[in-house]
Amino acid sequence: MAKEDVLLLDFWVSPFCSRVKIALAEKGVAYQQRGEDIFGGKSELLLKSNPIYQKVPVLLHDGKPMCESTNIVHYIDETWPSPPLLPASAYDRARARFWADFIDKKLFDAGGNIWKTKGEDQAAAKKELIQILKYLEGGLGDKDYFGGDSFGFVDIIAIPLTTWFFAYEKFGNFNVEEECPKFAAWTKRCLGRESVAKTLPDPQQVLEFVSMMRKMHGIE
């Protein structure tokens, strides 16, 4: 597969872009990457490829654009089948899609509510995040990964969001490992994987980014 066939429109701190990068790395797919200036001015290609949301990530395969990270990871799994990211059985795939949807709808927003607010609102947001992580611990059970023995779809959907936890912990004054040790153990396990370790930004840099966002939002 020539490198020019696959292009990712990217933003370094976006956990949603990281999902796509990890999935492509797991599949051994060579691709080009173009960083978008989210604050300075989005590129023509981005605006044309994703007119509805005007957001990254966008994956262009042979010039055909795809948007929304979970959707893109699905596409990557179906286009380059080996190694498989989704489990084999229809029921296990349904469980994986259920957890991916739960993570998409709940996790990032709950975290955002922690660094965007203070006082009672922040306390409520922290409680919500912990509850979400406890649900995910339930989904993980005693398994190494959400799909079982192998790193897969749900792990890819969830792990990039954990790079923002250091920032949530700092501004929310709590510790994920103390509250949800199983989730923390799963995080460490995933971070030991090459595709994950090489892709994810340093949580310290994410913290600096979130600090900048707080100033921009006038929260101090």
Partner 1 sequence: MPTNDVKLLGAPASQYVNRVQFALNLKSIDYEFIPQNMREKSELLLKSNPVHKNIPVLLHGDKPICDSLVIVQYIDEFWFDGPSILPSDPYDRAIARFWAAYIDDKWIPFFKELTTAKDEESKTALVEKILEGLKLFEDVFVKASKGKCFFGGETIGFLDIVLGCYLGWLKAWGIQLDVNFLDESKTPALVGWAERFSSDKAIHGIIPETEELFRILQIILARAADAASK
Specify the residue, 86 or 161, whose C-beta has the smaller distance to partner 1: 86
Distance CA 70, CA 49 (A): 17
Query: Which residues here bind partner 1, judged by CB under 8 A?
Result: 52, 61, 64, 66-68, 71-72, 74-75, 78-79, 90-91, 93-94, 97-98, 101-102, 135
Q: Which is nearer to partner 1, 60 or 210 (CB)?
A: 60
What span, in angstroms and rounded, lies between the C-alpha atoms of 33 and 49? 15
Residues in the chain: 220
Question: Residues 184, 188, 193, CA angle at the centre, nearest 5°?
Answer: 150
Cβ-based nearer residue to partner 1, 155 or 169? 155
Residue 217 to residue 60: CA distance in whole angstroms:
32
Q: How far apart are CA 86 and CA 152, in angstroms?
A: 6
Nearer to partner 1, 98 or 219 (CB): 98
Task: Report the distance separating Cα 47 and Cα 218, nearest Å.
Answer: 28
Closest contact distance (angstroms) between CB of 70 and partner 1 is: 8
What 3-state DSSP class applies to 175?
coil
Cα angle, residue 206 at apex, residues 203 and 210 outer, rounded to 5°: 135
Query: 54: which 2 tokens?
Result: 């005007």
Q: How far is the CB of 101 from partner 1 (least distance, A)?
A: 6
User: Residue type for 8, please?
Assistant: L
In the numeric block, which tokens belong to residue 109? 């927003």
What is the nearest approach in angstroms of partner 1 to the Cβ of residue 177?
Answer: 23
The Cα–Cα gap between 145 and 190 comes to 8
**Whole-number minimum distance, CB 218 to partner 1, in Å?**
27
- Measured from the CB atom, the residue of 80 and 164 that comes closer to partner 1 is 80
> Smallest gap, in angstroms, from Cβ of residue 220 to partner 1?
32
CB of 158 to partner 1, least distance (A): 15
